Structure 1
Amino acid sequence: MKHLAIFASGTGSNFQAIAEAVQSGKLKAELALLVCDQPKAAVISKAENLGVPTFVTRPKDYENKAGYEQAVLTEMEKHGVDFIALAGYMRLIGSTLLGAYGGRIINIHPSLLPAFPGLHAIEQAIAAGVKVTGVTIHYVDDGMDTGPIIAQESVAIQPGDTADRLAERIHSIEHVLYPSVLMQLLNEE
Structure 2
Amino acid sequence: MNNQIILGVLASGRGSDLQSIIDAIENGQIKTKIGVVLTDKPEAMALERARKAGIPAVCVDRKKCSTKEEFEQKLVEQLKKYNVGLVVLAGFMRILSPYFVNEFKNCILNIHPSLLPSFGGAHAHRDVLAYGVKVSGCTVHFVDEGMDSGPIIMQKAVPVLDDDTEETLSARVLEQEHIIYPKVIELYLAGKIHVNGRHVTIDD
Q: Which runs of 5+ in 2 are unaligned?
A: 193-204
SS of the residue 2:33 aligns to: strand
Contact 1:5 1:81 in 2 (8 A): yes
1:30 to 2:33 alignment: yes
**Corresponding residue to 2:61 among 51, 54, 58:** 58
- Do structure 1's residue 68 and structure 2's residue 71 form an aligned pair? yes
Residue equivalent to 2:10:
7
CA contact under 8 A between 1:27 and 1:187: conserved in structure 2?
A: no
* CA-CA distance at 1:45 after TM superposition: 0.6
Q: Output the CA distance in 2 between the equivalents of 1:182 and 1:128.
A: 32
Does the alignment pair 1:16 with 2:19?
Answer: yes
Structure with the higher helix share, 1 or 2:
1
AA aligned to 2:181 is: Y
Distance 2:108 2:52 in 1: 25
The Cα RMSD (Å) is: 1.0
Superposed CA deviations along residues 140-187 of structure 1, whole A, max 9, x for unmatched, are 001000000001111000111111111110000000010001000112
Task: Give me the TM-score of the superposition, normalised by structure 1.
Answer: 0.97
Secondary structure at 1:63's aligned position in 2? coil
List 4+ stretches of structure 1 deviating above 6 A: none
Name which of 169, 172, 177 aligns with 1:174: 177
Map Cα deviations across residues 74-133 of structure 1 (whole Å, 9 max, x no partner): 111110000011010000011221121010001000000010000110110001000001
Contact in 2 for aligned 1:33/1:76 (Cα 8 Å): yes
Asked if the contact 1:93–1:142 (Cα under 8 Å) also holds between the matched residues in 2, the reply is: yes
Count of aligned pairs: 189
The one-letter amino acid paired with 2:35 is: A
**Structure 1 residue ranges without an equivalent (≥5):** none
- Aligned-residue sequence identity (percent) comes to 37
Q: Aligned letter for 2:131?
A: A
The TM-score, its normalising length taken from structure 2, stands at 0.90
The answer to whether the aligner puts 1:100 opposite 2:103 as a matched pair is yes
